Amino acid sequence: MAIGCGPYSGCNLRHDEYPCSRTRAKTLHKKVYLLFFTDNCRFCKMMDSGTLTDRKVIEALNKNFVPIRVNSNRQTRLASSYMVRGLPTAWFLEEDGSKIGCRVGYVPPKTFLNLLDFVASEGYK
Protein backbone atom coordinates (compact mmCIF):
# COMPACT_ATOMS: atom_id res chain seq x y z
CA MET A 1 0.00 0.00 0.00
CA ALA A 2 1.46 3.36 -0.96
CA ILE A 3 0.75 5.94 1.68
CA GLY A 4 1.50 9.59 2.23
CA CYS A 5 2.79 10.25 5.71
CA GLY A 6 4.91 13.17 6.77
CA PRO A 7 8.14 13.41 4.82
CA TYR A 8 7.12 10.52 2.56
CA SER A 9 4.13 12.35 1.07
CA GLY A 10 4.34 12.47 -2.68
CA CYS A 11 7.46 10.33 -2.96
CA ASN A 12 5.78 6.92 -3.29
CA LEU A 13 7.79 5.08 -0.64
CA ARG A 14 5.62 2.13 0.26
CA HIS A 15 5.14 1.13 3.88
CA ASP A 16 3.10 -1.78 5.14
CA GLU A 17 1.73 -2.50 8.56
CA TYR A 18 3.74 -5.12 10.44
CA PRO A 19 1.00 -7.78 10.69
CA CYS A 20 0.48 -8.06 6.91
CA SER A 21 4.14 -7.65 5.96
CA ARG A 22 5.19 -11.29 6.20
CA THR A 23 2.37 -12.41 3.94
CA ARG A 24 3.17 -9.66 1.46
CA ALA A 25 6.91 -10.44 1.57
CA LYS A 26 6.27 -14.13 0.88
CA THR A 27 3.81 -13.37 -1.91
CA LEU A 28 6.17 -10.92 -3.62
CA HIS A 29 9.35 -12.90 -2.81
CA LYS A 30 10.92 -9.84 -1.19
CA LYS A 31 12.93 -9.25 1.92
CA VAL A 32 11.58 -7.03 4.70
CA TYR A 33 13.05 -3.69 5.82
CA LEU A 34 11.74 -3.10 9.34
CA LEU A 35 12.47 0.37 10.74
CA PHE A 36 11.90 1.13 14.43
CA PHE A 37 11.57 4.82 15.29
CA THR A 38 9.96 7.25 17.72
CA ASP A 39 8.43 10.65 17.06
CA ASN A 40 10.94 12.47 19.27
CA CYS A 41 14.11 10.78 17.96
CA ARG A 42 16.47 13.27 16.30
CA PHE A 43 18.30 10.67 14.21
CA CYS A 44 15.01 9.07 13.14
CA LYS A 45 13.93 12.45 11.81
CA MET A 46 17.25 12.74 9.94
CA MET A 47 16.59 9.35 8.30
CA ASP A 48 13.04 10.44 7.43
CA SER A 49 13.95 13.81 5.96
CA GLY A 50 17.21 12.81 4.29
CA THR A 51 17.95 9.19 3.56
CA LEU A 52 14.38 7.94 3.15
CA THR A 53 13.42 10.76 0.80
CA ASP A 54 16.31 10.07 -1.57
CA ARG A 55 14.90 8.95 -4.94
CA LYS A 56 17.41 6.11 -5.39
CA VAL A 57 16.81 4.84 -1.86
CA ILE A 58 13.04 4.87 -2.42
CA GLU A 59 13.42 2.96 -5.69
CA ALA A 60 15.71 0.33 -4.11
CA LEU A 61 13.43 -0.15 -1.11
CA ASN A 62 10.28 -0.48 -3.21
CA LYS A 63 11.95 -2.80 -5.73
CA ASN A 64 13.61 -5.24 -3.34
CA PHE A 65 11.92 -4.94 0.05
CA VAL A 66 8.64 -4.66 1.88
CA PRO A 67 9.35 -1.56 4.02
CA ILE A 68 7.70 -1.34 7.43
CA ARG A 69 7.84 1.48 9.97
CA VAL A 70 7.18 0.67 13.62
CA ASN A 71 6.85 3.30 16.33
CA SER A 72 8.63 1.58 19.20
CA ASN A 73 6.80 3.70 21.81
CA ARG A 74 3.46 2.43 20.53
CA GLN A 75 4.49 -1.17 19.80
CA THR A 76 6.71 -1.91 22.77
CA ARG A 77 6.36 -5.70 22.63
CA LEU A 78 7.42 -5.81 19.01
CA ALA A 79 10.37 -3.50 19.72
CA SER A 80 11.39 -5.70 22.65
CA SER A 81 11.18 -8.84 20.52
CA TYR A 82 13.72 -7.26 18.15
CA MET A 83 15.86 -6.05 21.08
CA VAL A 84 15.61 -2.40 20.04
CA ARG A 85 17.97 -0.44 22.29
CA GLY A 86 18.89 2.55 20.12
CA LEU A 87 17.06 4.47 17.44
CA PRO A 88 16.56 4.32 14.61
CA THR A 89 16.99 0.55 14.40
CA ALA A 90 16.62 -1.11 11.02
CA TRP A 91 16.18 -4.87 10.76
CA PHE A 92 16.46 -6.79 7.52
CA LEU A 93 14.43 -9.99 7.33
CA GLU A 94 14.14 -12.83 4.86
CA GLU A 95 10.77 -13.24 3.15
CA ASP A 96 9.92 -15.96 5.69
CA GLY A 97 10.58 -13.56 8.58
CA SER A 98 13.94 -14.95 9.68
CA LYS A 99 16.43 -12.30 10.75
CA ILE A 100 19.28 -11.29 8.45
CA GLY A 101 20.73 -8.52 10.60
CA CYS A 102 20.24 -5.04 11.93
CA ARG A 103 21.77 -1.57 11.76
CA VAL A 104 21.36 1.01 14.51
CA GLY A 105 21.57 4.76 13.96
CA TYR A 106 21.42 7.26 11.15
CA VAL A 107 22.78 6.11 7.78
CA PRO A 108 23.43 8.62 4.96
CA PRO A 109 21.81 7.89 1.57
CA LYS A 110 24.90 6.62 -0.28
CA THR A 111 25.91 4.27 2.54
CA PHE A 112 22.30 3.12 2.91
CA LEU A 113 22.10 2.32 -0.81
CA ASN A 114 25.22 0.16 -0.48
CA LEU A 115 23.63 -1.63 2.47
CA LEU A 116 20.38 -2.20 0.55
CA ASP A 117 22.32 -3.58 -2.43
CA PHE A 118 24.32 -5.89 -0.14
CA VAL A 119 21.20 -7.31 1.48
CA ALA A 120 19.19 -7.54 -1.76
CA SER A 121 22.05 -9.41 -3.50
CA GLU A 122 22.39 -11.74 -0.49
CA GLY A 123 26.03 -10.81 -0.07
CA TYR A 124 25.74 -11.83 3.60
CA LYS A 125 25.37 -15.54 2.72
User: How large a percentage of the chain has pLDDT more than 70?
Assistant: 86
At 1-56, the pLDDT tens digits run 333 333 443 345 555 567 677 788 889 999 999 999 999 999 999 999 999 999 99
Domain layout of the chain by residue ranges: 14-120
Top-level class of domain 14-120: alpha beta
At 29 the pLDDT is: 94
Burial of 102 (0-12, 13-18, 19+ CB in 10 A): middle
Lowest mean pLDDT among 7-21, 51-65, 92-106: 7-21
Residues in Cβ contact with 121 at an 8 Å cutoff, skipping those fewer than 6 apart: none
